[in-house]
């Protein structure tokens, strides 16, 4: 059975994965995009948005390997879009346009039902209303033995972490301070949950830390 992986999770030095006051104009909150500045120059990011070139150093190595061996994805509703409450219509189809970067089934955690959404490039979004364990089981079945990428947001990752369900986590720690927002580790005892640092590598614009089960 495939692993549940968190990949390329940008984090500030003070532990925040998003700033405060998230909205349509600021999906990562105030100053939240600053913690992703390591990712934007990479060849991996530029390829995702249809542009040539990009850096090919250590940061790109970690960004690129986060897409390897992935057979399904999980994300929270807030990552899928800014809409809250019942789906008033189905016009919103995500932030990414007609061909999102996942190219595999994506299971979106939500409290409100919505029929599956099929887009280009093998992207099919399923909306799961019965909890994180159900989403994981469905993703494992869809992945066919490959790994599942847990894309976020922070609150969703915290839910899986608190139950020890995350097998592998790549943190890209940026030399930035956010001061407030969504803190990844607040109130979580990672040692008690069985996690330890497996790798620590300094990249061009971020420090890459790999956590795994001890």
pLDDT of residue 100: 87
Q: Answer yes or no: are the C-beta atoms of 66 and 149 closer than 8 Å.
A: yes
Report the pLDDT value the prediction gives residue 149, as an integer from 0 to 100: 98
Q: Which helix (H) or strand (E) holds 192?
A: none
Q: What is the CATH number of domain 4-9+35-82+98-202?
A: 3.40.430.10
The pLDDT assigned to 105 comes to: 97
pTM to 2 decimal places: 0.93
Each residue's pLDDT expressed in tens, for the chain with a length of 214 residues: 799 999 999 999 999 999 988 777 787 888 999 999 999 999 999 998 889 899 999 999 999 999 999 999 999 998 888 777 888 877 777 777 888 889 999 999 999 999 999 998 889 999 999 999 999 999 999 999 999 999 989 999 999 999 999 999 999 999 999 999 999 999 999 999 999 999 999 999 999 999 999 7
Domain borders along the chain are 4-9+35-82+98-202
Distance CA 12, CA 66 (A): 19
Token readout for 97 is 């346009």
Q: Which residues contact 57 (CB under 8 A, 6 or more apart)?
A: 203, 204
Evaluate whether 107 touches 117 at the Cβ level (below 8 Å). no
pLDDT value of residue 75: 95
């Amino acid at each position: 059975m495939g692993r549940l992986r968190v990949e390329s999770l940008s984090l500030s030095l003070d532990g925040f994965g998003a700033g405060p006051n998230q909205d349509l104009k600021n999906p990562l909150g105030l100053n939240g995009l600053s913690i992703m500045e390591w990712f934007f120059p990479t060849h991996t990011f530029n390829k995702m948005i249809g542009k040539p070139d990009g850096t090919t150093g250590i940061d790109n190595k970690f960004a690129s390997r986060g897409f390897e061996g992935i057979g399904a994805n999980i994300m929270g509703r807030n990552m899928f879009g800014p809409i809250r409450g019942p789906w008033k219509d189905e016009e919103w189809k995500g932030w990414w346009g007609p061909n999102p970067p996942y190219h595999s089934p994506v299971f979106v955690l939500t409290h409100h039902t919505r029929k599956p959404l099929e887009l280009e490039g093998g992207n099919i979004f399923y909306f799961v209303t019965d909890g994180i364990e159900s989403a994981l089981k469905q993703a494992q079945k869809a992945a066919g033995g490959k790994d599942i990428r847990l894309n976020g947001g922070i609150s969703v990752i915290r839910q899986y972490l608190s139950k020890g369900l995350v097998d592998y986590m790549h943190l890209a720690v940026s030399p930035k301070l956010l001061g407030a927002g969504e803190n990844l580790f607040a109130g979580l005892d990672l040692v008690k949950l069985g996690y330890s640092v497996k790798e620590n590598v300094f990249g061009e614009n971020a420090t890459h830390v790999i956590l795994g089960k001890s």
